[in-house]
Amino acid sequence: MNSRTTHEPIIRMVKIEKHFGSVIALAGVSVDVYPGECHCLLGDNGAGKSTFIKTMSGVYKPTAGEIYFEDKPMHFEDPRDAIAAGIATVHQHLAMIPLMSVSRNFFMGNEPLKKVGPMKFFDHEFANRVTMEEMQKMGINLRGPDQAVGTLSGGERQTVAIARAVYFGAKVLILDEPTSALGVRQTANVLATIDKVRKQDIAVVFITHNVRHALAVGDRFTVLNRGKTLGTAQRGQITPEELQDMMAGGQELVELEGSLGGTV
């Protein structure tokens, strides 16, 4: 990625620790994220992925460590501060109302208003036009803006949430397991959407359990293992097998193999 040679990191997480009582979820994790890259965060259940991105997006305050956003130390009081700064998170379980239209969902919490005399109304025309345009940019042709979100496929719903975050000015887009509940075709759509977002110079942090999904779009890969990272690998510097081994905690598999007396 030549973007990395021309840009500074947009966000730098330095030696982040997060403790929950006696549980050490993060034990000093450092990751830089650059505009225009898809940075994959991999790791097994409980590795600390969600805790890490929640720290990045203002949900948790780190127990120790520093966060720099656009080169300045950042101390978000809550997620709203992070969203205002341009850090958006799309969760696997989306906050959307299935029975409401795509355009209503798209503008939920940011309703465009039209003034008619002393009254203000939801500006349907504007909302519908923008929703159709933004979805089109992501490669999805809605039947119409009134189509209920509940009638979209899982991948299309993820795309609505991603398109919405981009439209409202995300500089860092965090995706927590966006493909884990999807079939192959839907996954391909979401991965294509990630690629479109990255090309707009937005930094994408893509959390996944799936090495193939990561390798399909990732520029760099950070594997978390029990709250620690062994570092970050670039595309082409690591094989799928190595990535898979790191995720599984290579050593543990070797031990398991030994105790089972065979190959796992």
Ligand X SMILES: Nc1ncnc2c1ncn2[C@@H]1O[C@H](COP(=O)(O)OP(=O)(O)OP(=O)(O)O)[C@@H](O)[C@H]1O
43 binds, among Mg ion, ligand X, none (CB under 5 to 8 A by kind): ligand X
Q: For the CB of residue 231, give the shortest distance to Mg ion in the complex, in Å.
A: 21
Q: Which range binds Mg ion by CB under 5 A, 24-32, 47-55, 215-223, 225-233?
A: 47-55
Contacts of 249 (CB under 8 A, 6+ apart): 44, 225, 226
Looking up tokens 């994790």 gives 29
Q: Which range binds Mg ion by CB under 5 A, 45-53, 112-120, 124-132, 146-154?
A: 45-53
CB contact burial 17-55 (16+ within 10 A = b; e otherwise): bbeeeeebbbbebebbbbbbbbbbbbbbeebbbbbbbbb
- Give phi and psi for 208, each to the nearest 5: -155, 155
| Contact assessment for residue 19 and residue 63, using Cβ atoms and an 8 Å cutoff | yes
Asked if residue 179 binds Mg ion (CB under 5 A), the reply is no
Q: Indicate which single residue of 50, 89, 186, 208 sits in contact with Mg ion (rule: CB under 5 A).
A: 50
Q: Which range binds Mg ion by CB under 5 A, 6-14, 48-56, 164-172, 248-256?
A: 48-56
Q: Indicate which single residue of 6, 8, 20, 251 sits in contact with ligand X (rule: CB under 6 A).
A: 20
| Contact assessment for residue 84 and residue 48, using Cβ atoms and an 8 Å cutoff | no
Q: Which is nearest to 58 in space by CA: 76, 33, 73, 83?
A: 76
Asked if residue 45 binds ligand X (CB under 6 A), the reply is yes
Q: Which is nearer to Mg ion, 88 or 175 (CB)?
A: 175
For ligand X, the binding residues (CB under 6 A) are 20, 23, 25, 43, 45-51
